[in-house]
């Protein structure tokens, strides 16, 4: 993560160009992956992620190096909806089920099962959410 206080940005390569969206592949590299001893360590990981960004007004071509940006406050909300709220939901349902006298095993299963409708709703409203959570690209300097 780089950039100013208001923008989260990451470098990537354009892999596909559509009518309205551009697919950009970014490499997510942990600190371990850049270590000289990563071959001897099983903790090293490096994976590519494909991001859909809004197609810019300027001409963009496949294999162009670009910077993918999203405003920081949108990134924080995405983090909340993707990780924080589900954690709160699981813990709340776990304690509520335990409070109603449900066994520990069943409480755990019910609390994990509560994630299914939550992520189902996120999936159903993904198009509406994608209007608010859109990535932009700019040329890499």
User: C-alpha angle with apex 52: 127 to 2, nearest 5 degrees?
Assistant: 120
3-state helix, strand, coil in the chain (%, to 5): 45, 30, 25
Residue 4 has pLDDT above 90, yes or no: no
Grade residue 1 by pLDDT with cuts at 50, 70 and 90. very low
Residue 27, in any domain of the structure: yes
Instruction: State both tokens at 118.
Output: 């939550």
The C-alpha atoms of residue 11 and residue 5 are separated, in whole angstroms, by 17
Residue 2, in any domain of the structure: no
pLDDT the model gives residue 3:
47
Residue 81, in any domain of the structure: yes
Residue 132's domain comprises 7-139
Residue 110, in any domain of the structure: yes
pLDDT the model gives residue 37:
54
Residue 1, in any domain of the structure: no
Overall domain count for the chain? 1
Instruction: State both tokens at 115.
Output: 């994630």
Residue 47, in any domain of the structure: yes
- Could you read off the pLDDT of 86-126 as tens digits, one per residue? 999 999 999 999 999 999 999 999 999 999 999 999 999 88
Residue 79, in any domain of the structure: yes
Q: Is 12 exposed, middle or buried (0-12, 13-18, 19+ CB in 10 A)?
A: buried
């Amino acid at each position: 993560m780089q950039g100013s206080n208001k923008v989260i940005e990451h470098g990537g390569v354009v892999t596909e160009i559509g009518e309205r969206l551009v697919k950009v592949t970014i490499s997510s590299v942990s600190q371990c992956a850049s270590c000289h001893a990563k071959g001897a360590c099983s903790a090293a990981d490096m994976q590519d992620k494909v991001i859909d960004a809004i197609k810019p007004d300027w001409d963009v071509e496949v294999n162009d190096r670009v910077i993918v940006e999203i405003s920081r406050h949108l990134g924080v909300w995405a983090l909340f909806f993707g990780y924080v709220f589900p954690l709160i939901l699981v813990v709340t349902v776990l304690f509520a089920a335990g409070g109603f006298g449900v066994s520990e095993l069943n409480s755990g299963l019910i609390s994990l099962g509560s994630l299914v409708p939550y992520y189902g709703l996120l999936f159903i409203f993904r198009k509406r959410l994608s209007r608010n959570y859109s990535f932009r690209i700019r040329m890499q300097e």
